Structure 1
Amino acid sequence: MTLSVLEKLALFLIGAAVVLSFLRLLIGPAAPDRVVAADTLAVITTSALLMLAALFGSVLYLDVALIYGTLAFVGVVAIARAIEGGRP
């Protein structure tokens, strides 16, 4: 399987976004910064799964991306509520 220049560029940008978000997750000065970095990593992972679906031509990755995105959203909301103080 040969990748086009745009596909290589997209994969490079996804990789760079992962590195930068992971750095923010590690060195974030406050907990909200880390939550935003975790949410960003979840979005990047979802987009990487969508890229895999396009590259491999398999709809299975689309299902996995949908489930992962939903669970990541619920997880980030739960973490944000816990940081906020858990008010109802």
Structure 2
Amino acid sequence: MIETAVVVAMYVVGLAMLLSLWRLLRGPTVPDRILGLDTLYVNTIALLILFGMHLDSSIYFEAALIIAMLGFVGTVMLSKYVMRRDIVE
């Protein structure tokens, strides 16, 4: 039962990734594109964790942690650039 739920959740997260990619490419404003990219990071983390559960492997959890850290730093840098047009203070 849990295997079926994990596979269904992977499909749902994949659909959410497609919708995030659509917002990233189509977003009318820069903040919409940043939000789409941040949502894509979160969906990627969720998909990696689900895939790790599906394969019963812990390496995917570590990869998800690295993507989470890089995604946070990337979102902060993009937001600072949009607000101030300068990344380094």
Alignment match, 1:41: 40
Percent identical pairs in the alignment equals 34
Alignment match, 2:26: 27
Q: Distance in 2 between matches of 1:57 and 1:9?
A: 16
Task: Give the match's secondary structure for 1:24.
Answer: helix
Q: Distance in 2 between matches of 1:39 and 1:69?
A: 10
61-70 or 30-39, larger mean C-alpha shift: 61-70
TM-score in terms of structure 2 length: 0.87
Q: Distance in 2 between matches of 1:8 and 1:62?
A: 17
How many pairs are equivalent? 85
Cα gap change, 1:58 to 1:64, in 2 (>3 Å): same
Q: Deviations over 1:11-62 (max 9, x none)?
A: 1211110111111111101000000000000000011110111111111111
Q: Distance in 1 between matches of 2:66 and 2:15?
A: 24
Q: Distance in 2 between matches of 1:38 and 1:75?
A: 9
The alignment's C-alpha RMSD in Å is: 1.4
Q: Distance in 1 between matches of 2:57 and 2:77?
A: 31
Q: Does residue 60 of the first structure (1) align with residue 59 of the second (2)?
A: yes
Task: Give the match's secondary structure for 2:42.
Answer: helix
The unaligned stretches of length 5 or more in structure 2 are none
31-40 or 17-26, larger mean C-alpha shift: 17-26
Q: Distance in 1 between matches of 2:82 and 2:44?
A: 23
Task: Give the match's secondary structure for 1:29.
Answer: coil
Q: Distance in 2 between matches of 1:63 and 1:18?
A: 20
